[in-house]
Amino acid sequence: MEITLNSGYKMPIVGLGVWRMEKEGIRDLVINSIKIGYRHLDCAADYKNEAEVGEALTEAFKEGLVKREDLFVTTKLWNSDHGHVIEACKDSLKKLQLDYLDLYLVHFPVATRHTGVGTTDSALGDDGVLDIDTTISLETTWHDMEKLVSMGLKHGICVTAHTPLGGATANAEWFGTVSCLDDPALKEVAEKYKKTVAQVVLRWGIQRNTVVIPKTSKPERLEENFKVFDFELTKEDMEVIKSMDRKYRTNQPAKFWGIDLYA
């Protein structure tokens, strides 16, 4: 299952995220994911494992498991490289052992300065730096993000849901304990479809036409996360899951950088 971008390129709706993947396990992870059917890899310079991903991809190509044109490979420009994008992109290509990328993202595309409590909407200043209005509530931000998803779909702009299963225990210091996998209501929905909670959550993201990029280092979970195309959630169940909003933001830079990018 794919999403057609406004460029005409097709992006697989389920991808494999490799953030915080141990280097020694990358080879098996990538090879096994390709054998299962994954055709989308989500990488980044900051993940510090592009070289290992590249070695695995080269092996997969040589063994005939997949052709380069059948894969959608994403990587990202890190904050330290905004001043030399071309060089950073070439470095990523070299490490990934690829001639081209399907998608190159700015990892954190926000230039900000914190100006204290504001009274107006956030806007770019004369110097091109974003002034943050700290009076904007998280709930307001959430509603605007939902509007952003809808606008993107209308104009052929794909939205990718990173960390689609919430924060795993291993990432609690950054994401908090917000994993949805033990939620009683989600367990009830999963039992209805004879699926795991993870599969239901990923399916919810897919049916919203957002790309999901779950990560896992466990072979059995790798396969489980890809088995989400043989069932469909009802409109009622989609709304039930949407209503579980906890108004909690994961991946909060204020926790690990001390900078409140999202006010």
Using pLDDT thresholds of 50, 70 and 90, give the confidence band for residue 24.
confident
Where does residue 215 fall: left (phi above 0), alpha (psi -120 to 50 degrees), or beta otherwise?
beta
Report the side by side order of strands in the sheet with 123-124: 112-113, 130-131, 123-124
Backbone angles phi, psi at 214, to 5 degrees: -65, 150
Average pLDDT over residues 186-191: 94
Quote the pLDDT of residue 62: 97
Average of per-residue pLDDT values in the chain: 82
Choose the most confident range, by mean pLDDT, from 19-33, 161-175, 244-258.
19-33
pTM over 0.85: no
Average pLDDT over residues 140-151: 70
Average pLDDT over residues 235-257: 77
Quote the pLDDT of residue 119: 44
Quote the pLDDT of residue 120: 43
Measured on CA atoms in the order 28, 33, 36, 39, is the torsion positive or negative?
Answer: negative
Q: Which residue has the higher pLDDT, 242 or 177?
A: 242
The residues, ordered by sequence, that sit 6+ positions from 47 with a Cβ below 8 Å of its Cβ are: 18, 19, 20, 21
pLDDT tens-digit series, residues 119-130: 444 455 566 554
The neighbouring-strand residues paired with 76 are: 105
Q: Which residue has the higher pLDDT, 145 or 70?
A: 70
Is the pLDDT score of 117 beyond 60?
A: no
The residues, ordered by sequence, that sit 6+ positions from 62 with a Cβ below 8 Å of its Cβ are: none
Q: Is 107 annotated as a binding residue?
A: yes
Where does residue 116 fall: left (phi above 0), alpha (psi -120 to 50 degrees), or beta otherwise?
left
Quote the pLDDT of residue 142: 53
The answer to whether residues 36 and 62 touch, using CB atoms and an 8 Å cutoff, is: no
The residues annotated with a catalytic role in the active site are 47
Quote the pLDDT of residue 125: 58
CATH architecture of 2-256: Alpha-Beta Barrel (3.20)
The Cα angle at residue 151 between residues 148 and 154, in degrees rounded to 5: 150
193 alpha-carbon distance from chain centroid = 25
Average pLDDT over residues 51-68: 96
